[in-house]
Structure 1
Amino acid sequence: MANSKHAHVRYNLLDYCFRNRTFTFNQLLQYINDKIAELYPGEGIEKRTLRADLNIFRDKEKGFGAPLPANIRILRYTNPNFSIAQKPLLEYEQYLINASQQLLERFENHPKYNKLAEALVKFQEGEDEETDTSKILFYDQNEEYKGIKHLKPLYFAIKKKQVLHITYKGFQDEIPTAFEFHPHILKQYNRRWFVFGLNNTNYNETWSVPLDERLVKISIIEDEIHKTSEVDWDSFFRTMIGVVRPKDSEIKKVILRFHNGRQNYFKTKPFIPDFEEFFEEDKQDQVWFMAIINPELIQQILSYGKDVEVLEPAELREQLKENSSKMINLYS
């Protein structure tokens, strides 16, 4: 039986190497041990463990059935499109998933673990031979979203306090721009991810970068000291919908009046964390909250169509009026 300690780490590293690197056995062993030591200082594996891992990769019945020929000097897949991510979970991996789900039952009422529990359910898809889970679970996901590949490296860049060189090209830009970036937090909005931090080139400490095709390249700037953030990110986002914070924006009191009972939908899924209801009998269809005025706020209000009206502030009401007029012109 293969050494199960850190097996999930080794399998992911090996899968990466077999698709992207050209290592001999000894070179591969050194690379794997270097990576394990980064995560678990002082630990590593022996040659026999790596040989056992290779057998698991090649085994078609109890392993991954990878296109990895035996008796070759350079260890690479013969099919570069193959990945173990395409294969069902191994018995060892299925055990870990089941154990994790049982552990999470202790915290089933804790909102902090909701997303993790959801992820574990997703892992079960395709693993249950008796149930077609595709007919049970339908996810609200962006099939065209390619930016997820940037999430893991940016997460570790934040965790390891690395300074990055970012190359970025906006949809309307003719040429890309580059800047020094000190990443601090990752935020998801509208099924997309954004990284926030210090743009040290123009010294904007709340700079955001979308994780999509506009993010051309990320590279680590070695020996550069990562600057910590003085921003209270929880407060920063609490009065802001989305990710756009206009320069010199001010927090305003926003009052919305709903029609056709739509206030009930808002109250069960508000687009801002903190909102208040009115006590007056004639204002039960109204809510108010403190927020900055940005494009995402306007988009969220517009999503209610004819069933919502902005009462305050006047500038937001005017912007909704202008948007409505433009929409009318499109259909006139």
Structure 2
Amino acid sequence: MNRLFAIHKLLRSMNSYSGSELAAELVSLGFSTNERLVALDIQELRNLGAEIPGHRFVKYCYKKPFSLLESLEGVDTANFNEILAYLRQFSRDSLPRDQVDKLLIYFEQMVRNPELEENPYIQYEKVELKNIEKLDKFYRYIVEKRVIDIDYKYFEWELVSKTIVPVLLKEYNNRWTLMAFDKEKESYQNFPLDRIINERLSSVSLAGESGFDAVRHFKDVIGVSVPVDVEKEVIVLKVGKPRAHYVNTKPWHRSQLLVEEQDEYMIFQLSIVPNLEFWAKVMEHIEDIEVMEPANLRETFLEKVEKVYARLIAN
């Protein structure tokens, strides 16, 4: 299925490719294939409704624009269980038929190649994410409850080896993070995929993942970091307009409430654990935002602003 999407992305550019050219492109993307398999894939696309003239010795192309997503949406759910199994983490129960189109769009986003022309109707931010091609492998480790060894690189530290039990893949701000039970720390830790250099099955027998509840774990935070020994706070923010409209229409957290609106500003309330992602949001809006409550966070915000001011004055 991944291979079929990759061929579709090449052909939807409306360029022509020979069988050998398609095979070479697929190999460069990490697929194991050949001209014979490409010919079979082309026939699958034809079966789905694509008008593709040519054969393995005459270049293939789309005779007219073709939407693979629309075609798959018209197929009964039972006929693409492979996709649904891959995306099963989105629902523990049977997937509603009206959600299939959303999952297919997400699936195409997952296998997109930033170097290829984007779908003219759906455009994603072109960000090259390291190790995104390993999402399927890490997902299988989670489902199969595998213990793995990883070589992990902190920003400025040496490479370290860790034994972990992966329990969750989470995306935030164009970055994928693997949540896993860390044998050494005996707790759940975040491991951004771009810092995992190597991974392999471990010979260690390790338990610890059975009690993990992803919804509960991330319930009170923005993003993926969950500070230890930091209490949840009721935070009140005053945001000047027009930026306040963006905060209102794109909430930072599910607990966000609009408690007051005036001509020049809006006041919001959030019930969260203040973490790194929270402060990144605040500093992103530094020109228009004021932390009103609680007093300790207001003081922390003042200290951050003073540091920014001191650095600017020094330069």
TM bin, normalised by shorter chain, reads 0.5 to 0.7
The aligned counterpart of 1:139 is 124
TM-score, normalised to structure 2's length? 0.68
Matched with 1:217 is 198
Question: Which protein shows a greater Rg?
Answer: 1
- Of residues 222-231 and 313-322 in structure 1, the stretch that sits farther from structure 2 once superposed is 222-231
Q: Aligned with 2:254: secondary structure?
A: coil
Residue in 1 that maps onto 2:270: 289
* Local SS of the residue matching 2:255: coil
Q: CA deviation at 1:91?
A: 3.9
Counterparts in 2 of 1:185 and 1:65: CA distance versus 1, 3 Å: closer
Match of 1:250 among 231, 234, 237: 231
Q: Does 1:90 align with 2:42?
A: yes
Query: What corresponds to 1:234 in structure 2?
Result: 215
Tell me which residue corresponds to 2:102: 114
Give the secondary-structure state (helix, strand or coil) at the position aligned to 2:301.
helix
The residue aligned with 2:168 is 185
> How far did 1:224 drift?
2.8
Would you say the 8 A contact 1:64–1:84 is kept in 2?
Answer: no
Change (3 A) 1:323 1:93: farther
More moved, 296-305 vs 156-165: 296-305
CA distance in 2, matches of 1:142, 1:121: 11
Q: Quote the Cα distance in structure 2 between the aligned partners of 1:330 and 1:306.
A: 16
Of 232, 247, 251, the match for 1:270: 251
- SS of equivalent to 2:308: helix
- Structure 1 residues 248 and 226: alpha-carbon distance in aligned structure 2, compared to 1, 3 A threshold: same
Paired residue type of 1:253: V
In the comparison of the two structures, how many residue pairs are matched? 257
How far the C-alpha of 1:226 sits from its partner, in A, is 4.8
Is the 8 Å Cα contact of residues 261 and 267 (structure 2) preserved in structure 1? no
**% identity of equivalent residues:** 22
Q: 1:121 to 1:202 in 2, by over 3 A?
A: closer
Unaligned runs of 5+ in 2: 5-16, 49-67, 78-94
- TM-score of the pair, normalised by structure 1: 0.64
Counterpart amino acid of residue 253 in structure 2: I
Offset of residue 252 of structure 1: 0.6
Residue 154 (structure 1) aligned with residue 122 (structure 2): no
| Separation in structure 1 between the aligned mates of residue 42 and residue 103 of structure 2, nearest angstrom | 23
Q: Distance in 2 between matches of 1:172 and 1:201?
A: 20
Q: Deviation digits for residues 233-283 of structure 1, max 9, x if unmatched?
A: 212212111222222111111111111233321121112122122268799
Determine whether 1:298 maps to 2:287.
Answer: no
What's the secondary structure of 1:286's corresponding residue? strand
Structure 1 residue ranges (4+ consecutive) displaced by more than 6 angstroms after TM superposition: 85-89, 104-109, 121-125, 279-284
Q: Using a 3 Å threshold, how does the CA distance of structure 1 residues 164 and 327 change in structure 2: closer, same or farther?
A: same
